[in-house]
Structure 1
């Protein structure tokens, strides 16, 4: 009985870790998409890029801070 409980706990932990990593990578890829949009905006707008692309730049900077790929375990030092 204890072995089946441990196996179930292990499966649940692995599933939680995979879900966490998948979400982390989705956020990272969203940041990459915004980066590509910002680069395209800068190329298209030219000298007016600082004014026109301001919203994308702000969104990208926010995403850089918040959407980092994080490991499953968090170690406090």
Structure 2
């Protein structure tokens, strides 16, 4: 048995959902809403997990946290962009441009 790096879900958006006429198929509309809510919760929980990793790294590394935890902080900040309820349709200026990641 081989472990995978990422979890793969077979749950995707419904194939028969029409965004131009969402009320045509109410079942597909509800499935699409459930899909969007599920994806939003996955984003939120990912941010929480990365935040806990950053806290742990800061505690362990002490005064060297600026160098040793830099990659975790950049992952955390990237994962928090546009996450939260009601931020999907906000103008880009309100949650800032995506920073260039220096490697």
Q: TM-score, normalised by structure 2?
A: 0.58
Unmatched segments (≥5 aa) in structure 1:
1-6
Deviations 1:29-53 (CA, angstroms, capped at 9, x unpaired): 0011000000000000000011000
* Superposition map of 1:1-77 within 5 A: 9-66=25-82, 68-70=83-85
Aligned CA-pair RMSD: 2.4
With normalisation by structure 1, the TM-score equals 0.76
Residue 8 of structure 1 deviates from its aligned partner by 7.5
Kindly tell me the number of residue pairs found equivalent between the two proteins.
68
Residue 75 of structure 1, CA deviation: 8.5
| Greater helix content | 1
Q: Distance in 1 between matches of 2:27 and 2:48?
A: 31
Q: Where does structure 1 differ by over 2 angstroms across 4 or more consecutive aligned residues?
A: 73-76
Structure whose alpha-carbon radius of gyration is higher:
1
Instruction: Specify which structure has the bigger relative contact order, considering alpha-carbon pairs within 8 angstroms and separated by 6 or more residues.
Output: 1
